[in-house]
Amino acid sequence: MRLAALVGGLFLAVASPSGFPAAAADSLEQAVYRGRVLFMTATFGGGGRHCTTCHKEGGTAMSELPDGRKFASLSNAAAIFPRYDAKTRRVKTLPDQVQACVRNALQGTAPAFESPEMTELVSYITSLSEGKPIEMDGKPR
């Protein structure tokens, strides 16, 4: 057990991009950390894009499509879900949106709702909205 934790910590430390804390202290921090790594690097078997290809600087800066069109950052994204999607006539949750972006934007295989990858991405995206008022169906900022 101890050895596994040590090896896991070493892995996180080695995989840590500079300026970012290595092995996190508790499991929520670790989920947020892993979510950020996925956000910055994972292609989910798609064409080579990752989340930050469009959602710049880990989602904290203005987003930009490959054709240069700009749109809102993810800085309050977790605070405005669930929201009503008139196109599909469904109420959409944050995990629904993550799956949609993996399928459509990354052309990848979306992580299942109950997968560790989904938990980690949702934890990371929610961390960006920390302290923002909940505003279901509100505007992305």
Closer CB to ligand HEC, residue 71 or residue 113?
Answer: 71
Rounded to the nearest whole angstrom, what is the least distance from the CB of residue 10 to ligand HEC in the complex? 27
CA distance 131 to 141: 14
Rounded to the nearest whole angstrom, what is the least distance from the CB of residue 67 to ligand HEC in the complex? 9
Closer CB to ligand HEC, residue 32 or residue 74?
Answer: 74
Structure tokens at 76: 């309050």
Closer CB to ligand HEC, residue 6 or residue 20?
Answer: 20
Rounded to the nearest whole angstrom, what is the least distance from the CB of residue 74 to ligand HEC in the complex? 5
Query: HSE (CB half, 13 Å, CA atoms) of 26?
Result: 1
CA distance 35 to 95: 13
Closer CB to ligand HEC, residue 97 or residue 123?
Answer: 97
| Tokens 């961390």, located at residue | 127
DSSP state string for 76-131: TGGGS-SEEETTTTEEE-HHHHHHHIIIIIS-SPPPPTTSHHHHHHHHHHHHHTTT
Closer CB to ligand HEC, residue 31 or residue 54?
Answer: 54
Rounded to the nearest whole angstrom, what is the least distance from the CB of residue 5 to ligand HEC in the complex? 28
Rounded to the nearest whole angstrom, what is the least distance from the CB of residue 114 to ligand HEC in the complex? 17
Contacts with ligand HEC, residue ranges (CB under 6 A): 49, 51, 53-55, 65, 71-72, 74, 77, 80, 94, 97-98, 101-102, 105-106, 121, 125, 140
The sign of the CA dihedral 63, 48, 104, 100 is: negative
